Structure 1
Amino acid sequence: MATTTASLDIPQSPDRVWQLIGGFGSLPDWLPYIPASELSEGGRVRTLTNEDGGTIVERLQAFDQETRSYSYAIEQAPFPVTGYLSTLTVHAVPGRPDASRVEWSGSFTPVGVSDAEAEDLFHGIYTDGLAALLKTVSA
């Protein structure tokens, strides 16, 4: 099993950042390469459309409003992995009520690629996503 994590400090309060990213269907609000998200099964499944018109289906596995965290699994996607589980969390930064640390992590089993290649793929997705989040909250 391969894993990767990316994190970024955001100059906004944890509650403000969570308000933007904490909804399971909210990716289009802050992630420009995901222009559409459609919720189904009572909000537990999201069908994402990427910029190229491709589809990714993800299922919510855990949601915790208090700790500002949710985890999801990929059910269908064009990625060379199986058993994908990811968690997005907004942490408080000690001593800085006006700052958040957003962490995006994932674990998965590569299929047809090395662990390093799969880790690089998702690390890039997470890093680019967090940079887009910073740009969105800074606008």
Structure 2
Amino acid sequence: MASTTAFIDVPESPDRIWQLIGGFGSLPDWLPYIPESELSEGGRVRRLTNQDGGVIVERLQAFDHTARSYSYAIEQAPFPVTGYLSTLSVHPVPGQTAAARVEWSGSFTPVGVSDADAEELFHGIYTDGLAALLKTAQGWRG
């Protein structure tokens, strides 16, 4: 099994960032390469469409509003992995009152690619996504 984690510190309160990213269907609000998210099964399944028209189906595995965290599994995607489980979480930045640390992590079993290649793929997705989140948050300040 392979895994990777990325994080970014955002100059906004953890609660404000969680309001933006904490909804399971909220990816289009902050992730430009996912322009569409359709929820089903009472909000437990999201069908994402990427900017190229590709479809990714993910199932919510755990949600903790108080801890500002959710985990999800991929059910259908064009990625060379199986057993994908990811967590997106928001925490306070130690020593800073108005900053949030957003962490995106995942574990998965590569199929037809090396652990390193799969880790590089998802680390890039997480890093790009978190950079987009920072850009969205910076837009709040004008």
TM-score past 0.5 threshold: yes
In structure 1, how many angstroms separate the alpha carbons of the residues matched to 2:14 and 2:107? 24
Q: Does 1:9 align with 2:25?
A: no
1:81 matched to which residue of 2?
81
After TM superposition, the score normalised by the length of structure 1 is 0.99
Over the residues paired in the alignment, what is the CA RMSD in angstroms?
0.4
2:103 matched to which residue of 1?
103
Q: CA shift at 1:93, angstroms?
A: 1.0
Aligned length: 139
After TM superposition, the score normalised by the length of structure 2 is 0.97
Query: Does the residue aligned with 2:18 lie in a helix, a strand or coil?
Result: helix
Q: Does 1:69 align with 2:69?
A: yes
In structure 1, how many angstroms separate the alpha carbons of the residues matched to 2:97 and 2:77? 37
Q: CA shift at 1:95, angstroms?
A: 2.2
Q: CA shift at 1:134, angstroms?
A: 0.1
In structure 1, how many angstroms separate the alpha carbons of the residues matched to 2:42 and 2:2? 31
Percent identity over paired residues: 83
Q: Deviations over 1:15-51 (max 9, x none)?
A: 0000000000000000000000000000000000000
In structure 1, how many angstroms separate the alpha carbons of the residues matched to 2:118 and 2:15? 32
In structure 1, how many angstroms separate the alpha carbons of the residues matched to 2:81 and 2:52? 20
| Structure 1 residues without counterparts, runs of 5 or longer | none
Query: Does the residue aligned with 2:53 lie in a helix, a strand or coil?
Result: coil
Residue type matched to 1:50 in 2? N
In structure 1, how many angstroms separate the alpha carbons of the residues matched to 2:112 and 2:81? 8
Query: Does the residue aligned with 1:38 lie in a helix, a strand or coil?
Result: strand
2:121 matched to which residue of 1?
121
2:26 matched to which residue of 1?
26
Q: Deviations over 1:94-122 (max 9, x none)?
A: 22121010000000000000000000000
Higher normalized strand content (fraction of residues): 1
| Structure 2 residues without counterparts, runs of 5 or longer | none
Moved over 6 A (4+): none
Residue type matched to 1:120 in 2? E
Residue type matched to 1:17 in 2? I
